[in-house]
Amino acid sequence: MRIPASYTRYETPKIVKMPDILGAILDEPMQGFISFELNGEKHELMVEELPDSRLFVQFMDLTNGNPTYPSGRYHYTDAHENGKVFIDFNKAYSPPCAFTEYATCTFPPQENHLKVAIEAGEIFPLAH
């Protein structure tokens, strides 16, 4: 599930509502979005661009809760080049709060809820 994607940077970052494990809603800046095609359908995910040109993606999909972490997963892409990047769902992982009650995590914004099952990456360890 390593998929080619296009990265588009916003002229100015967009502020999105990010829920966290404590029930708060945080305003977080997203620098752009990636667009990609999966199973013949187009999808977009808002992303945070890091100083080294990697992209941080938080997403939910139809596997959340069974067998993946109910509140979504994270993924860092490699650095994008000229707007081209791969999203490697094989490297998607559960946030730290999946493993300890002492971690504070944000969860994907509503804009990053995919209506497709991403059957790759880390599964929720407590689901077994």
Q: What is the pLDDT of residue 128?
A: 44
- Mapped onto helix, strand or coil, the DSSP state of residue 23 is coil
125 pLDDT higher than 70: no
3 state DSSP class of 73:
strand
CA end-to-end span of the chain: 23
pLDDT band per the 50, 70, 90 thresholds, residue 100: confident
Write out pLDDT tens, residues 6-64. Answer: 999 999 999 999 999 888 999 999 999 999 999 999 999 999 999 999 999 999 999 99
